[in-house]
Chains A and B, each alone.
Chain A
Amino acid sequence: MANRSLQISAWALSGGIAVLVLGTALALAVQAKGVGLHPADWAALRFTLTQAALSTLLSCLLAVPVARALARCTFRGRRALILLMGAPFLLPVIVAVLGLLSLYGRNGLLNQTLQALGLPTVTIYGLHGVVLAHVFFNLPLATRMLLNGWHAIPAERFRLAQTLGLPSPFRHIEAPMLAAVLPGIALSIFLVCLTSFVVALTLGGGPAATTLELAIYQALRFDFDPGHAALLAGVQFAICAVAVSLAARFTLAEGLGLGLDRAPVGQKAHWVDAPVLALAALFLILPLVAVVADGAPAVLQLPALVWQAALRSAVMALVAAGLSVTAALILVQAKVAGAAWVEGAAMLPLATSGLVLGTGLFVLTRAFVRPESLALPVTVLVNALMALPFVFRVLLPQARDLHRTYDQLAQTLGLCGGARLRWLTLPRLARPLGLGAGLAAALSMGDLGVVALFAGQDQATLPLVVQRLSGAYRMDQAAAAALVLVLCSFALFALCDIGGRRAAP
């Protein structure tokens, strides 16, 4: 009975997602004047795939040693470091770019140091700069997701490995966990990088660094060719579909079995852990310091509307997080109960272009209501939708374990419905639920996306205010408002993440 209602809700949700994501693209496609990709589109496709693949590969490769070091080291500030790992991913793109440039730019710390030492300077602009920025964004996310995987390995396994005198637990315990978790993480990162365009263009150094998303932007803005935008969005969907099926193919089922929830012990720190963590922390924290240093001076001179927008954004972010987590929990349970297709639906929003989604919604709704009256609800809905793939990804590995280890027991006990949710699912998934809610809230807080298309004068969200300030020469205030945004995002993230960890058994 409970299973049936779960199935129905999962179907309904997937249908809703598909209608929103594909329907909006379709709304533009019907306006097509002609079909066919331009030569420039093929160049954009090639660059898009190259940068996304490189960024994914590097983020994942680097995340493994960092997560491993975090999993087996205990030191002062470890929790703070893990928490801070959430921050880069949550930065508004242009803020992060400016932060990175404080370090690696032509006038950045690195080049100033090189100059002082009489060494030749380096340039960040180019494919390597794009990849560097994407690794900065995604390495922490990958690390957090991997760390959850490490935490989910029952302590008994490591003890057993010790007892059996296995030379290294990697091959028998950690490698299978990685095989189960990494493809999904790689998929998320790949899809995030797929739709990047501000980073790609700004750090790419020129129009050779054109991504599909920029081509979509151009098609909608200057050429006003919605059909072409829809076609390009279609190409992005196709890439997404291929990526989802590849990831599913390479994801190995994990079988470490049931643990007794003992505190993780038995793993000794390795000498490489300390330098790995130090380097990762420097790489992630220095640009954040630059963001704080840029923004701090003007914070107290911010106009009142910044604080109003911050409050509005925070409330919207929490609502979006609630929606997103609820939807992800339903989908993830349907998925572990055997409905494989759910994963495609959950990952679909990552493939869509925010601009196509927003424009499509605008076209579809404007016949019925004034766009301004929908600005806030549509923004919340779209933010919840865009965060869903991440929340789903964060929940999936542990939900899979939970199902495998407790499903039979729960069925034997007749534990189902609300009781099962309350006594089994929620407490057992508290950690990823907290992380997922934190990610969703912070992503929504920082998202500019569709609100710019809909918002009237008095409905500005904080990211929109940041954009408006910097569009009017007020770069100092924009930097300060961006800092407020980052702090709000981070506070929401920390609140949910710590809450989840506290609630975990």
Chain B
Amino acid sequence: MKPFHLALAFVSLAPMAMAETPVLTVLTYDSFAADWGPGPAIAKGFEETCACKVAYVTAGDGAAVLSRLQMEGAGSAADIVLGLDTSLTETARATGLFAPLVAQAPNDLPVPFSDATFEPFDWGWFAFVYDNTKLTMPPKSFQELAASDLKILIQDPRSSTPGLGLVMWVKAAYGDQSAQVWQDLADNIVTVTPSWDAAYGLFLKGEADMVLSYTTSPAYHLIAEKDPTKSAATFDEGHYMQIEVAGKLASSKHQALADQFLAYLASDAAQSVIPTTNWMYPAKTPATGLPVGFETLIKPEKSLLLSSVDAEESRKAAVEEWQTVLSK
């Protein structure tokens, strides 16, 4: 074959090859798609079943994912949006960009959760994490914490999803009394950081006794670093939950493939990747159970969660209240 014909053959074959392997684009947050996150293993597992490629497009965190989707609108190249939490889902639903789920997979969440549009893939309880070699009697409630001399690090609810989670936590636990709780906590707060990692980094440097994170954070130190010195404190008021969800875009050209991906995400294969990559609880506990080490974590008896509608309604006022009280 002459080179020219060879080239021609490639040109005509290339689009066919591309048509044969569709690319499923998943818009998610950075740490999900990172090499050490759950993204690569889940993509690889799904690709073995689907004759397709998975491509991740990333934004900084859940809130950045949503704002990127809002910028892109119906023209988004994504098929799946993965990584919003329940304080963002109403805003996401209101965009009208999501298609309903074809099937709702069963889940093991500690609270009843059912959503026609968004499928939960993991969850966690917010909690204050401390060093158990330095703090032997951790506070048992926000009130005990406020009455103590303990210093805490928190995140800003205007730029960080855990920061917003804490504001919702106080709101869900104390309702109209939340302003007073913030007032009492003010002298315990060392500082407010723009993001989770800044607060956590400061905590590991010894800048405070406790940091707002998740009940699962000690599992990272225990399993990945063989370091048993971090614990999370149980609060009597109960612990606010973060449920992370994925949804399918109505504009996706790969509707069936997107449904398949969501089904795979709920399967044991994908769910068993979550605990030691995202350091959260899987939405459905896999048949093999949770990894060794997770049994050491605290299990709050009371879970708090505002419905996504209530969260959306109270978010603005709660953040403004937080800002007003702490700005004094």
Q: Which chain A residues numbered 186 to 232 have a C-beta less than 8 Å away from chain B?
A: 197-198, 201-208, 210, 214, 217-218, 220-224, 226
Binding stretch for chain B, among A318-326, A386-394, A468-476, A483-491? A468-476
CB atoms of B205 and A220 under 8 A apart: no
CB atoms of B72 and A366 under 8 A apart: yes
Q: Is A273 part of the binding interface, using a Cβ–Cβ cutoff of 8 Å?
A: no
Q: Is B57 part of the binding interface, using a Cβ–Cβ cutoff of 8 Å?
A: yes
> Please, which residues of chain A bring their CB within 8 A of the CB of B190?
106, 125, 205
| Given A102-B205, A106-B208, A224-B70, A214 contacting B194 (CB threshold 8 A) | yes
CB atoms of A217 and B159 under 8 A apart: yes
CB atoms of A467 and B158 under 8 A apart: no
Beta-carbon contacts of B234-269 to A below 8 Å, as 1s and 0s?
A: 000000000000000000000000000000000000
Q: Is B196 part of the binding interface, using a Cβ–Cβ cutoff of 8 Å?
A: yes
Q: Is B181 part of the binding interface, using a Cβ–Cβ cutoff of 8 Å?
A: no
CB atoms of A106 and B327 under 8 A apart: no
> Please, which residues of chain A bring their CB within 8 A of the CB of B71?
226, 359, 362-363, 366
A202, A222, A305, A456: residue with the most chain B Cβ atoms closer than 10 Å:
A222
CB atoms of B191 and A372 under 8 A apart: no
> Please, which residues of chain A bring their CB within 8 A of the CB of B221?
473
B36, B91, B315: residue with the most chain A Cβ atoms closer than 10 Å:
B36
Q: Give Cα A478–Cα B327 distance, bound, in whole angstroms.
A: 32
> Interface extent on B, as a size class?
35 or more
Q: Is B198 part of the binding interface, using a Cβ–Cβ cutoff of 8 Å?
A: yes
CB atoms of B158 and A475 under 8 A apart: no
> Please, which residues of chain A bring their CB within 8 A of the CB of B75?
366-367
CB atoms of B207 and A456 under 8 A apart: no
A101, A105, A201: residue with the most chain B Cβ atoms closer than 10 Å:
A201
Binding stretch for chain A, among B58-66, B138-146, B282-290? B58-66
> Please, which residues of chain A bring their CB within 8 A of the CB of B189?
205-206
Q: Give Cα A470–Cα B34 distance, bound, in whole angstroms.
A: 11
Give the shortest distance, in Å, between B68 (CB) and chain A (any CB). Answer: 8
Q: Is A453 part of the binding interface, using a Cβ–Cβ cutoff of 8 Å?
A: yes
Q: Is B231 part of the binding interface, using a Cβ–Cβ cutoff of 8 Å?
A: no
Q: Is A40 part of the binding interface, using a Cβ–Cβ cutoff of 8 Å?
A: yes
> Please, which residues of chain A bring their CB within 8 A of the CB of B315?
222
CB atoms of B327 and A220 under 8 A apart: no
Q: Give Cα A197–Cα B160 distance, bound, in whole angstroms.
A: 14
CB atoms of A222 and B63 under 8 A apart: yes
Q: Is A301 part of the binding interface, using a Cβ–Cβ cutoff of 8 Å?
A: no
> Please, which residues of chain A bring their CB within 8 A of the CB of B316?
223
Give the shortest distance, in Å, between B230 (CB) and chain A (any CB). Answer: 10
Q: Is B164 part of the binding interface, using a Cβ–Cβ cutoff of 8 Å?
A: yes
CB atoms of B156 and A303 under 8 A apart: no
> Please, which residues of chain A bring their CB within 8 A of the CB of B61?
471
CB atoms of B159 and A94 under 8 A apart: no
Beta-carbon contacts of B168-201 to A below 8 Å, as 1s and 0s?
A: 0000000000000000001001111111111011
> Please, which residues of chain B bring their CB within 8 A of the CB of A210?
323, 327
| Given A106-B151, A206-B326, A475 contacting B57 (CB threshold 8 A) | no
Give the shortest distance, in Å, between B185 (CB) and chain A (any CB). Answer: 11
The residue on A at minimum CB distance from B192 is A206
Beta-carbon contacts of A229-271 to B below 8 Å, as 1s and 0s?
A: 0000000000000000000000000000000000000000000
CB atoms of B191 and A468 under 8 A apart: no
The residue on B at minimum CB distance from A38 is B320
Beta-carbon contacts of A69-112 to B below 8 Å, as 1s and 0s?
A: 00000000000000000000000001001100110011100000
CB atoms of A205 and B194 under 8 A apart: no
Q: Give Cα A223–Cα B58 distance, bound, in whole angstroms.
A: 20
> Please, which residues of chain A bring their CB within 8 A of the CB of B126?
none
> Please, which residues of chain B bring their CB within 8 A of the CB of A456?
55-58
Total number of residue pairs linking A and B with CB closer than 8 Å = 157
> Please, which residues of chain A bring their CB within 8 A of the CB of B220?
473
> Please, which residues of chain B bring their CB within 8 A of the CB of A107?
205-207
CB atoms of A472 and B36 under 8 A apart: yes
CB atoms of A473 and B217 under 8 A apart: yes
CB atoms of A208 and B326 under 8 A apart: yes
CB atoms of A106 and B279 under 8 A apart: no
CB atoms of B35 and A303 under 8 A apart: yes
Q: Is A348 part of the binding interface, using a Cβ–Cβ cutoff of 8 Å?
A: no
Q: Is B128 part of the binding interface, using a Cβ–Cβ cutoff of 8 Å?
A: no
> Please, which residues of chain A bring their CB within 8 A of the CB of B208?
106
> Interface extent on A, as a size class?
35 or more
Q: Is A311 part of the binding interface, using a Cβ–Cβ cutoff of 8 Å?
A: no
CB atoms of B59 and A202 under 8 A apart: no
CB atoms of B34 and A468 under 8 A apart: yes
> Please, which residues of chain B bring their CB within 8 A of the CB of A172?
none
CB atoms of A40 and B217 under 8 A apart: no
Q: Give Cα A204–Cα B64 distance, bound, in whole angstroms.
A: 24
Q: Give Cα A217–Cα B63 distance, bound, in whole angstroms.
A: 11
Give the shortest distance, in Å, between A374 (CB) and chain B (any CB). Answer: 13
Q: Give Cα A336–Cα B115 distance, bound, in whole angstroms.
A: 65
CB atoms of B58 and A206 under 8 A apart: no
Q: Is B30 part of the binding interface, using a Cβ–Cβ cutoff of 8 Å?
A: yes
Q: Is A57 part of the binding interface, using a Cβ–Cβ cutoff of 8 Å?
A: no
Q: Which chain A residues numbered 400 to 414 have a C-beta less than 8 Å away from chain B?
A: none
CB atoms of A457 and B33 under 8 A apart: yes
Q: Is B281 part of the binding interface, using a Cβ–Cβ cutoff of 8 Å?
A: no
CB atoms of A105 and B207 under 8 A apart: yes
Beta-carbon contacts of A416-460 to B below 8 Å, as 1s and 0s?
A: 000000000000000000000000000000000000110111000
> Please, which residues of chain B bring their CB within 8 A of the CB of A224?
66-67, 70, 91
Q: Give Cα A337–Cα B57 distance, bound, in whole angstroms.
A: 48
Give the shortest distance, in Å, between B232 (CB) and chain A (any CB). Answer: 14
Give the shortest distance, in Å, between B149 (CB) and chain A (any CB). Answer: 12
| Given A222-B164, A367-B75, A455 contacting B58 (CB threshold 8 A) | yes
Give the shortest distance, in Å, between B211 (CB) and chain A (any CB). Answer: 12
Q: Give Cα A305–Cα B33 distance, bound, in whole angstroms.
A: 14
- Selected from B58, B202, B207, B322, the residue in CB contact (under 8 A) with A457 is B58
| Given A201-B194, A207-B322, A456-B57, A475 contacting B204 (CB threshold 8 A) | yes
- Selected from B58, B196, B198, the residue in CB contact (under 8 A) with A202 is B198
| Given A40-B323, A202-B194, A367-B75, A473 contacting B224 (CB threshold 8 A) | yes
25 sample A-B contacts, Cβ–Cβ < 8 Å, listed by A number:
A94-B198, A101-B202, A106-B206, A107-B206, A107-B207, A201-B191, A201-B194, A205-B190, A210-B327, A218-B159, A221-B158, A223-B316, A305-B35, A362-B71, A452-B60, A456-B56, A457-B58, A471-B34, A471-B61, A472-B31, A472-B36, A472-B37, A475-B197, A475-B201, A478-B197
A214-B194, A362-B68, A470-B197 given; name 12 further pairs at CB < 8 Å.
A105-B207, A197-B194, A201-B192, A202-B202, A203-B191, A206-B327, A214-B158, A221-B67, A222-B157, A224-B91, A457-B55, A471-B196
